[in-house]
Structure 1
Amino acid sequence: MTSVTSPLAGRAIGLKAVPDPVFSEAMVGPGTAIDPMREPSEAVSPIDGVVVSLHPHAFVVLDSEGHGVLTHLGIDTVQLNGAGFELLVAKGDTVRRGQGVVRWNPVDVEAAGKSPVCPVVALDASVEALTDVVQDGEVKSGDTLFGWQ
C-alpha cells in the first residue's frame, strides 16, 4: 500500500469543495484537497518516486508500484504562465517524500484572482482503492492524506 502525504500545510477540505468540476467531480481521480496556509512555501513530494510530469503549477510523481499522484497548485493557475512559481526539480528526477518540488506563494495566486486550493489526486485509481481519505481538518506538510491499495 502507498501512503500519500500532504505536499503542503493548510486545511484539508476534500475534493467536493474544489471550485473546479474537473476536480470536485473526481474526473481526474479520487483524492482530497488542501486549502494552503497563506504564506510562501515549498510544495513537497507526497510520495517517493520519479517526477513524470512537471509544470510550474502542477506535478505528478510516480512511485515504484505505478501509483501516480498529481499535486495541482491552485485552480486555473496554468493561466499565470509560471509567474510566481519556481521549479526546484526537473522532470525525470527521483524525489523522496517531503522533498521540495515547487516554491510558490498562495497569496500571489489569490492576488491574481485565482483560487489557491490544491487538489492532491490519485491518478488512474478508483475511489475504492483509497483508504482513510482526510476530508477536513488542519494538516501539516508530511501528514498522511490517504492510503492507496
Structure 2
Amino acid sequence: MTTVLAPVAGHVVGLAAVPDPVFSEGLVGPGTAIDPARRAGEALAPIGGLILKLHPHAYVIAGEDGRAVLVHLGIDTVLLKGEGFRLLAGEGERVRAGRPVVAWDPAAVAAGGMSPVCPVVALDAPPGVVVPLRTDGAVLAGEELFRWR
C-alpha cells in the first residue's frame, strides 16, 4: 500500500472537477484534485522516490515499488513556459515524501485566466485501487490524501 500526500494546501475537489477531460475522465489514472489556496508556496513530493519527470508545471515521482504519482500544478500551465514557477529539486533526484519540489503561486495562475486546480494521479493504475482518505474539504500540504492498494 502506498500512501499519497497532498502536495499543496487547499480544498479537495476530486478529478471530476478538473477542467480538462484527460484528468476528469481518469485517462491517465485514478486519483483526486486539490483547488489550492491562493497564495504563493511550495508543492511537495506526494510520495518518496525518484523524480522521473520534472517540469515547472508538473512532476512525476516513482516509489521504490515502481508506482508513479503525477502532480500537475494547474491546467494548461505548460503555456506559461515556466514563468511563475521555480524548481526546488532536480529530475533524477531521490526525494522523501513531503519535500518541496516546485515553488509557485496559484493566485498568479488564476489571475492569468488559467485554472490552478492540481490533479494528483496514480499513473496507469487500474480502477478501484485508489482509496480516497478525503473526498472534499480542506487539506494541508503533507497530509494524507489517498492510498494506493
In which range does the TM-score fall when normalised by the shorter chain?
A: over 0.9
With normalisation by structure 2, the TM-score equals 0.98
Q: 1:132 & 1:113 partners in 2: Cα distance?
A: 29
Q: Which amino acid aligns with 1:117?
A: V
- Counterpart secondary structure, 1:128: coil
Aligned to 2:64: 64
Alpha-carbon deviation of 1:127? 2.2
Aligned to 2:147: 147
Alpha-carbon deviation of 1:134? 2.4
Q: Structure 1: which 4+ aligned runs deviate by more than 3 Å?
A: none
Q: 2:15 & 2:98 partners in 1: Cα distance?
A: 22
Alpha-carbon deviation of 1:133? 4.6
Give the conservation status (yes or no) of the 8 Å contact 1:43–1:104: yes
**Pair 1:76-2:84 in alignment:** no
Provide structure 1 residue ranges, at least 5 long, that are not aligned to the other structure. Answer: none
Q: CA-to-partner distance for each residue in 1:118-144, whole Å, 9 max, x for gaps?
A: 000000101211113522110001111
Aligned to 1:41: 41
- Counterpart secondary structure, 1:3: strand
- Counterpart secondary structure, 1:127: coil
Q: Which amino acid aligns with 1:118?
A: C
Give the conservation status (yes or no) of the 8 Å contact 1:31–1:133: no
- Counterpart secondary structure, 2:60: strand
Aligned to 1:101: 101
Give the conservation status (yes or no) of the 8 Å contact 1:9–1:36: yes
1:80-91 equivalence runs, <5 A:
80-91=80-91
Q: CA-to-partner distance for each residue in 1:61-91, whole Å, 9 max, x for gaps?
A: 0000111000000000000000000000110
Give the conservation status (yes or no) of the 8 Å contact 1:58–1:72: yes
Aligned to 1:122: 122
With normalisation by structure 1, the TM-score equals 0.98
- Counterpart secondary structure, 2:128: helix
Provide structure 2 residue ranges, at least 5 long, that are not aligned to the other structure. Answer: none
Q: 2:107 & 2:43 partners in 1: Cα distance?
A: 14
Alpha-carbon deviation of 1:51? 0.2
Aligned to 1:7: 7
Q: Which amino acid aligns with 1:61?
A: I
